[in-house]
């Protein structure tokens, strides 16, 4: 938390790395949390490059700057209203996927937040219903 208001060299390097990953299609969205004053040059650069962004208050003296794909930013604007730690399990899952986080880990996180225990060593049983592939009459199988 003790980040100065100036845009430090490390913060600039992280920002530039996010821009690189976005430009190469490695992720559709990035997030940086920073002091309000430090966000100004980041926002100015995003605006100058025409990169979609959304500034969300993390706390009174810090903001989350979300930037990247216009559609992904628009989605984030629809459901990120309060603190990120208060997102529903579904919105938290969507956010992680949009940030390009590992899908399997996001699935585990989602199930954990929903109260389903995840056994990573033996696999997990999502439901007790038989799989769709068991249908004996292929004409009856409708997807």
Report the CATH number at residue 43: 3.30.2190.10
**70 domain-assigned:** yes
**1 domain-assigned:** no
**135 domain-assigned:** no
According to the model, what pLDDT value does residue 141 have?
A: 43
Helix (H, G, I), strand (E, B) or coil at 129: coil
**Domain span holding position 61:** 9-118
**132 domain-assigned:** no
For the chain, give the mean pLDDT.
82
Which tokens hold the place of 119? 């056994």
Percent of the chain with pLDDT over 70: 76
Encode pLDDT of 50-80 as tens digits.
Answer: 999 999 998 888 999 999 999 999 999 999 9
According to the model, what pLDDT value does residue 68 have?
A: 97
Strand partners of residue 32: 65
Encode pLDDT of 24-47 as tens digits.
Answer: 999 899 999 999 888 999 999 999
**4 domain-assigned:** no
- Predicted structure pTM score: 0.72
For tokens 């529903």, the residue is 88
**136 domain-assigned:** no
**78 domain-assigned:** yes
**33 domain-assigned:** yes
Element at 53 (helix H, strand E): strand 52-59
Helix (H, G, I), strand (E, B) or coil at 133: helix
The total domain count for the chain is 1
According to the model, what pLDDT value does residue 122 have?
A: 56
d(CA 43, CA 55): 9
According to the model, what pLDDT value does residue 43 have?
A: 95
According to the model, what pLDDT value does residue 130 have?
A: 46
According to the model, what pLDDT value does residue 121 have?
A: 59
Q: Is 134 a residue whose pLDDT tops 50?
A: no
């Amino acid at each position: 938390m003790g980040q100065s208001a100036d845009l430090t060299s490390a913060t600039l390097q992280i920002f530039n790395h996010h821009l690189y990953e976005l430009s190469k299609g490695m992720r559709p969205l990035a997030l940086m949390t920073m002091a309000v004053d430090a966000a100004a040059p980041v926002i100015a650069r995003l605006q100058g490059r025409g990169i979609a962004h959304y500034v969300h208050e993390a706390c009174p003296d810090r903001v989350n700057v979300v930037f990247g794909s216009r559609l992904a930013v628009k989605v984030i604007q629809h459901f990120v209203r309060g603190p990120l730690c208060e997102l529903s399990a579904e919105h938290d899952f969507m956010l992680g996927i949009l940030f390009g986080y590992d899908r399997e880990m996001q699935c585990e996180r989602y199930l954990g937040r929903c109260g389903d225990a995840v056994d990573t060593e033996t696999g997990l049983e999502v439901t007790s219903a038989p799989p769709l592939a068991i249908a004996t009459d292929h004409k009856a199988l409708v997807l």
